[in-house]
A and B are shown apart, each in its own frame.
Chain A
Amino acid sequence: MELELNEEQGLLQSGLRQLLEGACELRRVRRHSYDGDGRDPELWKELAEGGWTASGVPETLDGGGLGFEEAAIVALESGRSLLHQPLIETLLAARALQRAGCKAPLSEIAHDGASATLAVLELSRDFAPDPELPRARSTQAGWELSGEHFGVPFGPLAQRCLVEAELESGEAGLLWVSTDQTGVGWREVGAMDRTVRRYALTLEAVEVPGECGAGAGDALGELPDEWRVLLAAQTQGACARLLEMTVDYAKKREQFGRPIGANQAVKVRLALAAAAVERMLAAVYHAALKIEQGASDRGRAAAMAKLETASPGAEVATQGIHVHGALGYTWEQDVQLFAKRIKTNEILLGSDADCLERVARTIL
């Protein structure tokens, strides 16, 4: 029985944390995401050189060959640093591509350092009332893809997009397109968390070479659950950092001649937040383990992890802002950056009611 990182995983985590503490400071996140155009090719290059962007590609295809527990570690750290690049999306794309047996795209991730995002129906549904899957018609060269997706994270800021589409057979398939390809259109939509910009995607007779697509129905199956767990992990990381910042502030800020953190009312807020953050980690590890094992109850474990981080995460964020007083309400204070990521992750891919029903279906 081991529900904790092993030594090697611990080293992996501290390696990535160190890299991100240096290369992805909050000042930089603000500069690129809020003041700039969202792109940060140098940071992506640094992540690629460290092997992180290809970590989800199998070793036989020159990737890092990391499993899902490690993917969760990457997501934890991406939340802690508020990483503004499509790293977990690229990891998830690599896993799905591998299940679908699509070698060429995996090679782009491994050799060209390609970044990827994901356009799937389940996320589209969070942004549009009745989205339909784009359709893929088979052609001599491969596929021709037309239709729409909504709420795609990073959109054209990533180089490739893995698109869920309905094949002529009626099956769902995954197709690999370049985000700047002819026929691919992006329209940015509002996203209070500017560190993950959002886009509507239109596909007009986009040509996709044949390798990827057919028989990929199973490959998609896992993707939403995996994404839920990585969002949960990201929220845990973001909450842990936000809580640390808030505890530090509560020790330093003085009113009535004592640190505000000496007041029991403040202590209770922070203790409850800490208890929530602590539990989130167990939920994330448990779900990562179940997915890694391909266990039959992995869907439930994923919903539990999402549930443990969704509204509890948003509550931690709210407390973080509150304990900072009016300062916490300002644009300049960093807690609000974390709060927006956490709140966004809560709402997407299943908030409380949806995840409770996912759990209920497996036990009732």
Chain B
Amino acid sequence: MNLDLSPSEIAFREKFRAWLRENLTDDLKWERVADLSHSGAWEARRGFERRMGADGWLGVAWPREYGGQGATLLEQVIYQEELVRSGAPALTSSVGLELVGPILMEVGSEEQRHRFLTPILLGEEVWYQGFSEPNAGSDLAGLQTRAVLDGDEWVIHGQKVWGGFAEHADWGAVLARTDPDAPKHRGISFMIVPMKAPGITVSYIKEMTGGEHLNEVFFDGVRIPRENVLGPLNQGWRVANRLLGYERGVMTLPFATRYERFWEKLRDFASSNRRRGERLSERPHIRAALARSYVDVQMMRLANLRWLTHYLRGTPPAEETSYMKVYWAQAHQGLGDLALELGGGAALGLPGELETLAAGAFSNEWAFSRSTTILGGTQDIQRNIIAERILGLPRA
């Protein structure tokens, strides 16, 4: 066993670090551009990603024949971790890079690959993920958005919810029902929808953090060409699911890096602040809580690394990714709780409110971390997967 990187992995990391040092200026950092309602934030993020794309730093995982770097899984992890460590904003291109791109390569037609892959890789086009619906969350296959063929065009009616960047996106990866008579998993197709098409309306949903990043998207007779189906007709469920596991698998490793950074903030806070006459970091229960949260973040990383070892040896990811999602949520919510325990009353205001400790970062993290048991397949769904598909318990 060892936890070391090889010389070529270190070289890869140093190269990307150097690029980030050169190109990621302070005005582009996460804190400055996270809130898209600030004027110029979207443009700044897009500009940065186009630069990444032009210099070959988008889609490093993509095979060389499609213009990627053919990075190994471990290099992909290094890449994502460096991105987080540098303070870069989350990529607006990630749906294209991580979901749509790989699916295009696997099941896309020649023309589709030709049309869509390069703009994704260069950071020129943004994709929106339109899967969840108001009545189809955990039971995604129950989705009701319909696409009906009318001559050479599909006509789409329905509503999507929870995806982000819908207002700015160029294209939507939208799951729609194309055969209402088939069993629910077999009548869904994966559609490519131009997001600026007539009939699409986008609105924002305010989150409990006070931020507005999640969208509602209404499709009211939206017409798209017949050939805008990705993969075989009525097989959209299978096409989409190939990659959903990946989302909660080792790709949760960069979150561990983000949580380590946040944990360090909490530690620094505890060692430089007093309450009731005592330094926080000297109170036994605070020490225990800081240690507990440190261990949870480290264990999230280590459990991932053990499975990453399996993947690097050639075992494809499977249901164990559900374990990773469970650890991820536990680590994040623990941190959120700890932040407010440390901050006390002064931390209880939301960002942007008057006199809130750490500019609301503590309460924001607490509120944001409530979403981690829900997104990407809820904690309950992960437990069902572990029980039924790993332990082999009978389905309900």
A348 within 8 A of B: no
A286 within 8 A of B: yes
**A304 contacts B298, CB within 8 Å?**
yes
**A4 contacts B326, CB within 8 Å?**
no
The one of A251, A258, A289, A363 in contact with B294, judged by C-beta atoms closer than 8 angstroms, is A363
Bound: A275/B382 CA distance, A: 10
Q: How far is the CB of A259 from chain B (nearest CB, A)?
A: 5
**A283 contacts B299, CB within 8 Å?**
yes
**A279 contacts B303, CB within 8 Å?**
yes
A residues less than 8 Å from B312 (CB atoms):
1
Given A69-B1, A275-B326, A364-B271: A3 and B287 within 8 A (CB)? no
B residues less than 8 Å from A270 (CB atoms):
387, 391, 393
Given A2-B2, A282-B302, A364-B270: A258 and B292 within 8 A (CB)? no
A43 within 8 A of B: no
Bound: A285/B309 CA distance, A: 12
Bound: A285/B294 CA distance, A: 18
B394 within 8 A of A: yes
Q: How far is the CB of B272 from chain A (nearest CB, A)?
A: 12
Bound: A289/B382 CA distance, A: 30
**B384 contacts A360, CB within 8 Å?**
no
Mostly, the A contact residues are: helix
Given A251-B392, A271-B384, A364-B270: A1 and B305 within 8 A (CB)? yes
Given A289-B3, A359-B295, A364-B267: A267 and B393 within 8 A (CB)? yes
**A279 contacts B384, CB within 8 Å?**
no
Residue ID in chain A nearest B281 by CB atoms: A364
A167 within 8 A of B: no
Q: How far is the CB of A255 from chain B (nearest CB, A)?
A: 13
**B392 contacts A3, CB within 8 Å?**
no
A residues less than 8 Å from B281 (CB atoms):
364
A247 within 8 A of B: yes
**A264 contacts B3, CB within 8 Å?**
no
B354 within 8 A of A: no
A residues less than 8 Å from B295 (CB atoms):
304, 307-308, 356, 359
**A308 contacts B1, CB within 8 Å?**
no
Q: How far is the CB of B275 from chain A (nearest CB, A)?
A: 16
Residue ID in chain B nearest A9 by CB atoms: B1
The one of A258, A292, A364 in contact with B290, judged by C-beta atoms closer than 8 angstroms, is A364
**B306 contacts A4, CB within 8 Å?**
yes
A residues less than 8 Å from B388 (CB atoms):
267
Contact string, B300-336, partner A, CB cutoff 8 A, digits 1/0? 0011011011101100000010010011000000000
Q: How far is the CB of A310 from chain B (nearest CB, A)?
A: 11
Q: Which of A281-299 contact B (CB under 8 A)?
A: 281-283, 285-286, 288-289, 292-293
Residue ID in chain A nearest B312 by CB atoms: A1
**A363 contacts B390, CB within 8 Å?**
no
- Size category of the binding interface on chain A: 35 or more
The one of A247, A267, A283 in contact with B302, judged by C-beta atoms closer than 8 angstroms, is A283
Bound: A261/B387 CA distance, A: 9
Contact string, B352-396, partner A, CB cutoff 8 A, digits 1/0? 000000000000000000000000000010111011101111111
Q: How far is the CB of A322 from chain B (nearest CB, A)?
A: 15
**B306 contacts A1, CB within 8 Å?**
no
B26 within 8 A of A: no
B residues less than 8 Å from A307 (CB atoms):
295
A residues less than 8 Å from B305 (CB atoms):
1, 3, 282
Residue ID in chain B nearest A295 by CB atoms: B3
| Best-buried of A69, A259, A274, A285 by chain B (most CB within 10 Å) | A274
Q: How far is the CB of B282 from chain A (nearest CB, A)?
A: 9
Bound: A47/B392 CA distance, A: 34
Bound: A304/B391 CA distance, A: 26
A residues less than 8 Å from B292 (CB atoms):
356
The one of A3, A250, A266 in contact with B306, judged by C-beta atoms closer than 8 angstroms, is A3
**A272 contacts B383, CB within 8 Å?**
yes
B208 within 8 A of A: no
**A274 contacts B287, CB within 8 Å?**
no
The one of A1, A267, A304, A363 in contact with B2, judged by C-beta atoms closer than 8 angstroms, is A1
Bound: A278/B290 CA distance, A: 23
The one of A262, A285, A353, A359 in contact with B396, judged by C-beta atoms closer than 8 angstroms, is A262
**B298 contacts A262, CB within 8 Å?**
no
Given A258-B394, A261-B394, A282-B302: A271 and B387 within 8 A (CB)? yes
Q: Which of B62-81 contact A (CB under 8 A)?
A: 74
B residues less than 8 Å from A363 (CB atoms):
267, 290-291, 294
Contact string, A302-345, partner B, CB cutoff 8 A, digits 1/0? 00100110000000000000000000000000000000000000
Residue ID in chain B nearest A358 by CB atoms: B291
A357 within 8 A of B: yes
Bound: A354/B51 CA distance, A: 50
Q: Which of A229-288 contact B (CB under 8 A)?
A: 247, 250-251, 258-259, 261-264, 266-268, 270-272, 274-275, 278-279, 281-283, 285-286, 288
**B288 contacts A259, CB within 8 Å?**
no
B5 within 8 A of A: yes
Bound: A5/B1 CA distance, A: 7
Q: How far is the CB of B202 from chain A (nearest CB, A)?
A: 37
Q: How far is the CB of A336 from chain B (nearest CB, A)?
A: 21
**Which 8 pairs from chain A and chain B are nearest by CB?**
A267-B387, A271-B386, A271-B383, A261-B393, A359-B291, A360-B287, A4-B309, A360-B291
Using A274-B391, A364-B287 as known contacts, list a sample of 4 further A-B pairs with CB atoms less than 8 Å apart, ordered by residue number in A: A1-B309, A271-B382, A285-B1, A364-B271
Instruction: Show 9 A/B contacts (Cβ-Cβ < 8 Å), sorted by A.
Output: A1-B305, A6-B1, A268-B383, A272-B326, A285-B302, A307-B295, A353-B288, A357-B288, A364-B287
- Which residues of A line the B interface, CB within 8 A? 1-6, 69, 247, 250-251, 258-259, 261-264, 266-268, 270-272, 274-275, 278-279, 281-283, 285-286, 288-289, 292-293, 304, 307-308, 353, 356-357, 359-360, 363-364
